[in-house]
Amino acid sequence: MLAGFLLISFVPAAHADFRLCNNTGSRVGVALGYKDAEGWMTEGWWNVSARSCETLLRGALVARYYYIYAVDYDRGGEWSGHAYMCSRDKEFTIRGTENCLARGYDRTGYFEIDTGEQRSWTVQLTDNAEQAPSPATPKVPGAAPTTIPKGSPKP
């Protein structure tokens, strides 16, 4: 089984955005959860081609913590965690994280990303067979790279 990991790093950009780079050799589907002024929201799916990046949210980040669930379409496996939120198989925007099943949604385990209250953030999905790229700038306190093996929830 092909294992992978997730590298999270702060990358300065001309624009303040939340981006995801797929540095794997597979197509990846991504769902995102976060809390804004109106409460919890989950959105999906962004389909990110192999070796490409996608801006998931444009503008300055509205929260410190973001949550991601990602699926490897080509090789199987997922990046998941213990923060349960709602999702579904088709494109979605869902308000609230409670009673997912009763409301007709799936209950999915997302993993947490602590942005350290930065204005922009980039998440990088990388196969473990490939060397993870290093951040373009020195590490920011609270933004140290974190690895999460594909198929294994974050502790």
* 155, 51, 118, 88: CA torsion to nearest 10: -60
User: For the chain, what is the mean pLDDT?
Assistant: 80
Quote the percentage of the chain above a pLDDT of 70: 72
pTM of the model: 0.76
Please give the pLDDT value at position 18: 94
Tens of pLDDT, residue by residue over 52-91, are 999 999 999 989 999 999 999 999 989 999 999 999 999 9
Tens of pLDDT, residue by residue over 20-44, are 999 999 999 999 999 999 999 999 9
Please give the pLDDT value at position 145: 35
**Given a cut of 60, is residue 102 above it in pLDDT?**
yes
Please give the pLDDT value at position 126: 81
Could you please report the per-residue DSSP string of 105-142?
A: -EEEEEEEEE-TT-S-EEEEEEETTSPPPPPSSPPPTT
**Given a cut of 70, is residue 16 above it in pLDDT?**
yes
